[in-house]
């Protein structure tokens, strides 16, 4: 299905119909195409806001027709199209490289007198570790001191995002909103990290399920994320917030059962000890085992965020059943060649091989 038609059908399905109308704001999105961008743009338009996007025009030029103003430039030095303009808020979702601190310093520095609020889309990866249970936004973030990076190497993702957050605060003190999403999932996610599970479970049979079912998981449906960000902008809420769900996390057993319900499948789950998988080269949160983390040591709190502060300012969660159903529906609209080449998850052969070894362990 054409991307525009699919996005339009989400709107027609009444995704945002239950929400009250908002006072119209002028909102600039740095990004606006890619994965979360179109969801954000459509939601803001549905809420009655005026949207401008700024990007290089490579990944979705003309995607929104006349409804959205498109500014073309490059965060690597060409911000000319932003000069002299005025918006109520900016949502910065395109600074995700090692250069993110400089990109944010430059854009927040330029925009500080042109916008009231700078919402920076950061990441759960900024935390030094996730040993705390429960995790909250008060946990320490990565620095060069607590987690050294060789001077001749580019900043890794978590460090870059942590320093980019700091650059935003430095440029616009007291007017910054930081949102730290975990794995962003749902329709249009091109990484297949969550999508692996609905697709695999829909196929049925003996499904390799990691751990003993008690490890907790928290992700964020892309629609919950963009709705939360819109709420933070509409209410002018500043501060640092995590964006994962559900509150406190859910055990993997519940998570996979919800996915099975969403795709209407009744497979057999074979729970395979996490250390057994690790010994055979299957890395939690790695390519073969996406969206799974072991709840111990430095990752004990990975799926155990307390979201009371976020819920108080508007974070809401769709159920995993709904996310799985919609992701599965979207997946089936993709061309057969794309579906034949998933970007994450275990191949059927690898899964069979590991299940055979597990059943044969004696």
Smallest separation (angstroms) from ligand NAP to the CB of 56: 3
The one segment of 55-63, 302-310, 322-330, 331-339 that binds ligand NAP by CB under 6 A: 55-63
Given 16, 27, 32, 68, the residue binding ligand NAP (CB under 6 A): 32
| Crossing angle between the packed helical segments 157-171 and 100-111, to the nearest 10 degrees | 20
Residue nearest to ligand NAP (CB): 34
The one segment of 43-51, 72-80, 131-139, 332-340 that binds ligand NAP by CB under 6 A: 72-80
Given 16, 35, 126, 244, the residue binding ligand NAP (CB under 6 A): 35
What's the CA gap between 194 and 260, in Å, rounded? 13
Given 75, 169, 304, 318, the residue binding ligand NAP (CB under 6 A): 75
- 106 is a contact residue toward ligand NAP (CB under 6 A): no
Sheet containing 117-121: order of strands: 69-72, 50-55, 26-30, 89-92, 117-121, 176-181, 239-243
Other C-beta atoms closer than 10 Å to the C-beta of 361 total 9
Among all chains, which residue has been given the structure tokens 């155990």?
304
Question: Which are the contacts of 268, defined by CB distance < 8 A and separation ≥ 6?
Answer: 205, 206, 207
In Å, how far from its chain's centre is CA 332?
A: 21
Residues that contact ligand NAP, how many (by CB under 6 A)? 24
The one segment of 35-43, 80-88, 249-257, 290-298 that binds ligand NAP by CB under 6 A: 35-43
What's the CA gap between 276 and 281, in Å, rounded? 9
* Burial (0-12, 13-18, 19+ Cβ within 10 Å), 299: middle
What's the CA gap between 362 and 354, in Å, rounded? 14
Given 69, 74, 129, 329, the residue binding ligand NAP (CB under 6 A): 74
Smallest separation (angstroms) from ligand NAP to the CB of 152: 23
- 117 is a contact residue toward ligand NAP (CB under 6 A): no
In Å, how far from its chain's centre is CA 46?
A: 21
* Burial (0-12, 13-18, 19+ Cβ within 10 Å), 344: middle
What's the CA gap between 42 and 47, in Å, rounded? 9
**By CB under 6 A, what part of segment 222-241 binds ligand NAP?**
none
Given 76, 146, 214, 347, the residue binding ligand NAP (CB under 6 A): 76
Query: Which residue lies nearer to ligand NAP by CB, 59 or 237?
Result: 59
**By CB under 6 A, what part of segment 145-204 binds ligand NAP?**
181, 183-184
- 290 is a contact residue toward ligand NAP (CB under 6 A): no
Going by C-alpha positions, the residue among 183, 260, 261 that lies closest to residue 222 is 183
The one segment of 16-24, 51-59, 298-306, 343-351 that binds ligand NAP by CB under 6 A: 51-59
The one segment of 28-36, 137-145, 227-235, 289-297 that binds ligand NAP by CB under 6 A: 28-36
- 99 is a contact residue toward ligand NAP (CB under 6 A): no
Q: Could you list the residues that contact ligand NAP (CB under 6 A)?
A: 31-37, 55-59, 74-76, 93-96, 121, 123, 181, 183-184
């Amino acid at each position: 299905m054409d991307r525009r038609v699919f996005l339009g059908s989400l709107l027609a399905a009444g995704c945002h119909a239950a929400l009250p109308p908002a006072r119209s704001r002028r909102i600039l999105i740095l990004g606006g195409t890619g994965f979360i961008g179109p969801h954000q743009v459509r939601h803001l338009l549905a809420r009655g806001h005026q949207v401008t996007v700024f990007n290089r025009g490579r990944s979705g030029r003309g995607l929104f027709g006349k409804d959205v103003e498109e500014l073309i430039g490059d965060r690597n030095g060409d911000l000319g199209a932003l000069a002299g303009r005025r918006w109520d808020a900016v949502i910065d979702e395109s600074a995700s490289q090692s250069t993110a601190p400089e990109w944010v310093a430059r854009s927040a520095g330029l925009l500080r007198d042109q916008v009231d609020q700078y919402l920076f889309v950061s990441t759960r990866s900024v935390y030094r570790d996730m040993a705390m249970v429960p995790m909250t936004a008060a946990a320490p973030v990565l620095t060069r001191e607590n987690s050294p990076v060789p001077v001749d190497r580019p900043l890794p993702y978590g460090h870059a995002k942590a320093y980019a957050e700091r650059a935003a605060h430095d440029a616009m003190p007291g007017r910054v909103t930081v949102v730290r999403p975990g794995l962003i999932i749902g329709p249009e996610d091109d990484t297949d990290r969550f999508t692996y599970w609905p697709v695999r479970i829909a196929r049925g049979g003996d499904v390799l399920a990691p751990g003993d079912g008690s490890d907790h998981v928290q992700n964020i449906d892309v629609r919950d994320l963009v709705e939360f960000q819109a709420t933070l902008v509409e209410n002018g809420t500043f501060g640092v917030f995590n964006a994962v769900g559900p509150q406190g996390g859910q055990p993997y057993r519940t998570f996979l059962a919800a996915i099975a319900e969403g795709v209407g499948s009744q497979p057999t789950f074979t729970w395979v000890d996490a250390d057994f998988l690790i010994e055979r080269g299957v890395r939690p949160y790695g390519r073969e085992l996406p969206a799974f983390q072991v709840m111990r040591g430095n990752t004990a709190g990975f799926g155990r965020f307390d979201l009371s502060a976020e819920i108080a300012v508007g974070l809401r969660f769709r159920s995993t059943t709904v996310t799985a159903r919609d992701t599965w529906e979207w997946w089936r609209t993709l061309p057969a060649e794309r579906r034949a080449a998933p970007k994450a998850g275990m191949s059927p052969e690898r899964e069979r091989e590991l299940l055979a070894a597990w059943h044969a362990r004696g």
